[in-house]
Structure 1
Amino acid sequence: MTAPAAKAGPLAGVRVLELGSMYAAPTCGRMLRDFGADVIKVEDPTSGDYARQWTPMKNGQSFGFARLNSGKRSVAIDLRSDGGRDLVRRLAAQADVVIENFRPGRMDAWGLGYQTLAADNPGIVVTSVSGFGQTGPYKEKPGFGTVAETGSGFAYINGWPETPPTSPPFGFADSISGISAAMGTAMALFRRERTGQGDHVDVSLYEPLMFIVGDMIMNYTGTGFVQGRVGNGTGSASPRGVYQAADGKWLSIAASNQGIAKRLFAAMGRPELIEDPRYATNEVRMQHNDELQEMVVAWVAERPRDEILKVLDEYEVVCSQVNDASDIVEDPHFQERTLVELTGSEALGRVLMPGPVLHFAGEAAPVYDGVPSIGEHTDEVLTELLALSSGEISALAEAGTVRSGKVAVPEL
């Protein structure tokens, strides 16, 4: 049985109805759940959220689904049926927030658009996540994270000059847009506290990522320069990059301001470089970046990684080892601050995952206890919020409108 959302946190008492599937909208739901909201996840009664089928898996349970949905309550309702849409509208009338990630226009066609839900519940905050947003020529185009990563310009500048444009091997755009959607939802709730009025939050998959790479757009409009791929550099500060030590292990160095560059040169035993006209300022360092990078590469390659990192730490140079998953799990800092245990899942056993993305002083971390099965909380939620009797719920289940949580159904 999945535990309800933590009672502590700045969003304690906020009820969220999550109509989203896959990645971005459920990420928003997880952000809100992490800080105290009660998140009710509406899933298809037959297949559930498609993310349940994501790999990697263990014993039929998706790690990705578990990470984004632990602690939520699953209600299985068929949105393709009139009865199912009626139930969702009634549930929305009891909610503070509705998160959805259908193509723009779909919610209106179902009679569940913002104006309809706000007529029932003027304080409702509807957060819509879509590929290209609710307005503009592309609003009806389907969009996943890969499209956002390429369309935003990110993939074009990611990689090396001799390699193709590269999308990341994880849900980068979805995650960024999901976190942005949670921020927008929180801002709408804040305004509602002052005015009593709800709002419609419109988040596209590509815009948060385009914001991150926005300097390249400004540079083009200001100078006409089209930024290309620069490998592990930023194209804006030097020296910066990922370097291989003598033992074959990798580390990163970011001398992204004047003070750090000066300390790096001192750590390398070359303090005079900061006086050299070719390396005295970041602007000239970028003009001579290739030769400067060769110096750093050669210096790092002289010693094992731990020794290089020790020297860099002594000189307060921004640096890190390049971590794989095993490095992260064994790191005492991440163990204390970041990693949390997902418990209560027989399929997964004991696993660790990243916890909340930020911390509040004095607030206990949320508990992640189990992963909801499809419709596990249908009876509980429909009884609690809509006062339906067991007979009414059974009739809805027999009609296929809902999946009752009392019926044990194996996971896909």
Structure 2
Amino acid sequence: MAGQAGQERRTDASVASGPLAGIKVVELGSMYAAPTAGRMLRDFGADVVKIEDPASGDFARQWQPAHNGLAIGYSRLNSGKRSVGIDMRSPEGREVAKALIADADVVIENFRPGRMEAWGLGFKELSAEHPRLVMTRVSGFGQTGPYSARPGFGTVAETASGYAFLNGWPDTPPTAPPFGFADSIAGISAAFGTSMALFKREMTGQGSQVDVALYEPLMFILGDAVLNYTSSGTIMQRHGNASGAASPRGIYEAADGRWLSIAASNQSIALRLFEAMGRPELKDDGRFATNTARMANNEAMQQIVIDWVRSYPRDEALAILDEHEVVAAAVNDAKDVTQDPHFRERTLVELANTVLGPALMPGPILHMDDYTGPTYDGVAAIGEHTREVLVDQLGMDADEVGRLAAAGVLSN
């Protein structure tokens, strides 16, 4: 068996009660966006079979950071999936993949547009044989349009969408995030689209093609910038930690050198903040009485908040803000997050039985009152489930699987 050694894991019976229980997903995805979609579906009960190259696997297995040889990002997105090693460059491998797809409800893929069609695995070809199939396709610029053939990663999506231009301070260069931001949003959007397509299928009996471009969900989030320009001709600029829409808002340093955020983004919160700071007279000060006035005098408004936060240790300032129901929070690092009782109760889950040791990571992105969520037990080695899926599930001849494995077409 190629790749990182698998560890013995228990069957995850918890997903049997999920809303997507019984849905079979074939994931032809690598890196971040498509695997994120696969994880979202698996989180809510789907059985996800991940097709990987039998020798090298998903390239995300090689990403940093890693611990004891296991990539952190790969582990987070792929725990609970079954790995089947298939060389998609081989005609025989594609035939095996086609057999897997014939048994599936959903295919997720993130090849450059046209690749699946060149392999005879495009939506038109597959849906002709399997009209109930949902095919979710994630690519840099989408399946249509002048840029559809271009390659694209998250960094390109973050710049092309307008995000990087708006991110940062007025006197700093446009800034991309240090994590898979566009990929993650696109993956979540792809899972949403897949769920809608499955719902439609229940109504009509017909599958659908879901087309997600990496940049589009991010551009939706940034939509005010586009609407602002096309309506007024104004190009929104970088504001640092300010929003450019409401004041006061930002990240502030407390007396002990720790940081907190305050978002007085509506009038009632701003008035409560004035009370919390012991400055009720600001309510009647013409410079600060309304959001329009505060935005016009934002520098003076911010300085008042800066000075007040600097006069207290962070925990004390947060306690005062909480007492006055002002929207505020600590600026947490990863250690803060994992030690916070709220996050430990509601959000963080254990990734068990891996070389990472006892480890926590964020669980499902939403909660349903009749579903407790999955467990995350082990990370499959490359092709760990090839024989289990192909022989036991599809009924392929074991000798034929062995022959293809010996030829390098499959993992064994």
Whether these two folds match at TM > 0.5 is: yes
Q: 2:178 aligns with which of 166, 169, 184?
A: 169
Do structure 1's residue 85 and structure 2's residue 94 form an aligned pair? yes
1:403 equivalent in structure 2: 411
Q: Deviations over 1:231-279 (max 9, x none)?
A: 1011111100000000000000000111111101111111221222222
Do structure 1's residue 360 and structure 2's residue 365 form an aligned pair? no
- SS of residue paired to 2:197: helix
Q: Deviations over 1:17-50 (max 9, x none)?
A: 0000000000000000000000000000110000
Letter in 2 for 1:395: R
Q: Deviations over 1:304-323 (max 9, x none)?
A: 00000000000000000000
Q: Deviations over 1:45-102 (max 9, x none)?
A: 1100000001111111001100000000000000000011111111111100000000
Conserved? CA contact 1:98–1:126, under 8 Å: yes
Do structure 1's residue 221 and structure 2's residue 214 form an aligned pair? no
1:348 equivalent in structure 2: 356
- SS of residue paired to 1:132: coil
1:391 equivalent in structure 2: 399
Q: What TM-score do the two structures reach when normalised by structure 2?
A: 0.96
Conserved? CA contact 1:177–1:204, under 8 Å: yes
CA distance in 1 between counterparts of 2:199 and 2:242 reads 39
CA distance in 2 between counterparts of 1:107 and 1:358 reads 32
* Unaligned segments of structure 2, at least 5 residues: 1-7
Runs of 4+ that moved beyond 6 A: none
From the superposition, tell whether residues 383 and 256 of structure 1 become closer, same or farther in structure 2 (CA, over 3 Å).
Answer: same
Letter in 2 for 1:379: R
Instruction: Give 1:4 shift.
Output: 5.4
Q: 1:253 aligns with which of 262, 267, 274?
A: 262
2:113 equivalent in structure 1: 104
CA distance in 2 between counterparts of 1:284 and 1:87 reads 66
From the superposition, tell whether residues 143 and 2 of structure 1 become closer, same or farther in structure 2 (CA, over 3 Å).
Answer: farther
Alignment of 1:185-334 (within 5 A): 185-334=194-343
CA distance in 2 between counterparts of 1:131 and 1:394 reads 37
Letter in 2 for 1:353: M
Instruction: Give 1:344 shift.
Output: 1.1
Q: 1:59 aligns with which of 68, 73, 82?
A: 68
Instruction: Give 1:365 shift.
Output: 2.1
1:14 equivalent in structure 2: 23
Q: 2:388 aligns with which of 380, 386, 410?
A: 380
Do structure 1's residue 71 and structure 2's residue 72 form an aligned pair? no
- SS of residue paired to 1:248: coil
- SS of residue paired to 2:16: coil
> What value does the CA root-mean-square deviation take over the aligned residues?
0.9
CA distance in 1 between counterparts of 2:137 and 2:313 reads 49
Letter in 2 for 1:234: S
Q: What TM-score do the two structures reach when normalised by structure 1?
A: 0.96
Q: Deviations over 1:106-138 (max 9, x none)?
A: 100100000111112110000000000011111
Conserved? CA contact 1:94–1:385, under 8 Å: no
Q: Which of 281-290 and 348-357 deviates more? A: 281-290
Q: Deviations over 1:284-308 (max 9, x none)?
A: 2111111100110011001100000
Higher RCO structure, 1 or 2 (CA under 8 Å, sep 6+): 2
1:115 equivalent in structure 2: 124
Do structure 1's residue 125 and structure 2's residue 138 form an aligned pair? no
CA distance in 1 between counterparts of 2:84 and 2:45 reads 19
Instruction: Give 1:3 shift.
Output: 5.0
2:4 equivalent in structure 1: none
* Unaligned segments of structure 1, at least 5 residues: 405-412
Alignment of 1:140-155 (within 5 A): 140-155=149-164
Letter in 2 for 1:326: K
From the superposition, tell whether residues 2 and 214 of structure 1 become closer, same or farther in structure 2 (CA, over 3 Å).
Answer: farther
Q: Which of 124-133 and 4-13 deviates more? A: 4-13
Conserved? CA contact 1:132–1:143, under 8 Å: yes
The number of residues matched between the two structures is: 403
CA distance in 2 between counterparts of 1:287 and 1:217 reads 23
CA distance in 2 between counterparts of 1:310 and 1:386 reads 59
CA distance in 2 between counterparts of 1:281 and 1:275 reads 9
